[in-house]
Structure 1
Amino acid sequence: MSEEQIRSVIQGPVDVEWRYEMRRECQEILPGLLLGPFVASKSLPTLESLGITHIVCIRDAKEAFSVRPRFPERFKYMTLDVEDNEEQNLIRLFPGAKGFIDQAISQGGRVLVHCNGGISLSPAFVVMFVMQHYQLSWEDALHMVQNRRYCISPNGGFLTQIKEYEAIYKANVAHASFPQTARATARRKRSDEDDEDEQRCALVDDRKRPLVQEDSQEDPNAMQT
């Protein structure tokens, strides 16, 4: 995308007036990906009207009795049990969630990502997703999600991990874009260097061998003294 298109994506719709009660609704962050609270996932008519096909249910383990898949026969779920505190490692859990979302969208599905309140935990996952999807900085990704769901506020620990994830995904992109031929050349170069090392070692071994080998057997024709 051009710089202007990226700015437009980050800014989002400018004609939406945020209302407090919208905290209890879900919002579309990018085509096919919606973010909201658990209450939005409990209304079957709402989910059907939004065309939802997949749901990522992110919950604190203590909430499992209430925050749970409600319609497993109607939607495909991924459930993540985490702790909604600053010590929780989200980066470790993110690849699985990203794979689930990517597969759903690639198949033409629509995914709702929710936690209990849709304020801190699930938004952290969605910020990391849009960051990598559009190859944005963490600040731009956070602004993009906030411009669509104004009430999000990842806690300090989650925000730190969002910042850390920018370096991780950029390193993966750089590695993936490294030309295959260059990788093969680098492997061949290492192989050639290994062969040269083996040849040098063999040459050193040859130099260490005695030039004349002593014969351990006596010459029967030698004079006896």
Structure 2
Amino acid sequence: MTAQKNKRKEYLSVKDLEKVLDSCKLDLHQIDEVWPNIYIGNVGIAQNRSALRRLGITHILNAAHSKRGSVGDQSFYGSSFVYCGIPAEDSSHFDLDVYFRPAAEFIHRGLKSPDGKVLVHCIMGMSRSSSLVLAYLMLYQHLSLCSAVQRLIQKRAIYPNRNFLALLLDLDLQLKKKRKTCILL
């Protein structure tokens, strides 16, 4: 029975992650550097091209592309920035996981470019954008979801919705299984 209990505790739940997120005491800002050269921000900063140039942002990942209040596409940003738009909804039914790998690849390419700095934003900069950055940290920096969340909340107030947390937990489980398989081979 105890071994079974320990086995169950090995895997996090959405509720466990929400407790970690609730421990964050930071105020929400327009933009924060959450990882070297990765910024999470809100739509206000994302639409301020001169502020983005001052910060040295080169790549913009809009997790609220085509949503009301989120102006932005490559023509809006011109040749000063590389743009990628994801039409995500901050809802309990949106399958954000189909964008985890493409978003992570975009962030990775942005960081690899000369002087690359990536802004990932949505409307508030709390749920959609932070979920995509968490997926990047898991896929490219090989952090567990819990470690990635703990790292981000040291830099920014984030709060992915319960659906996104569940999708990130699924990704975390897939990556853990893949790592175990690699070790066994």
Same fold (TM over 0.5): yes
Matched residue, 2:81: 75
SS in 1 for 2:124: coil
Pick the structure with greater CA Rg: 1
1:140-179 alignment, distance < 5 Å: 140-150=147-157, 152-173=158-179, 177=182
Distance 2:48 2:67 in 1: 22
Give the 3 Å change call, closer, same or farther, for CA 66–58 of structure 1 in structure 2: same
Contact 2:63 2:88 in 1 (8 A): yes
The gaps in structure 2 that reach 5 residues or longer are 1-24
Distance 1:68 1:81 in 2: 11
RMSD between aligned residues: 2.3
Distance 2:113 2:46 in 1: 21
2:129 is equivalent to residue 122 of structure 1: yes
Distance 1:92 1:44 in 2: 29
What residue identity is the alignment partner of 1:41?
Answer: A
Which structure carries more relative contact order (alpha carbon 8 Å, separation 6+)?
Answer: 2
Contact 1:61 1:83 in 2 (8 A): no
Distance 2:50 2:88 in 1: 28
Distance 1:54 1:173 in 2: 30
Percent of pairs with identical residues:
27
TM-score of the aligned structures, taking structure 1 as reference length? 0.63
The gaps in structure 1 that reach 5 residues or longer are 1-16, 183-225
Distance 1:153 1:86 in 2: 14
2:115 is equivalent to residue 106 of structure 1: no
TM-score of the aligned structures, taking structure 2 as reference length? 0.75
2:46 is equivalent to residue 41 of structure 1: yes
What residue identity is the alignment partner of 1:129?
Answer: Y
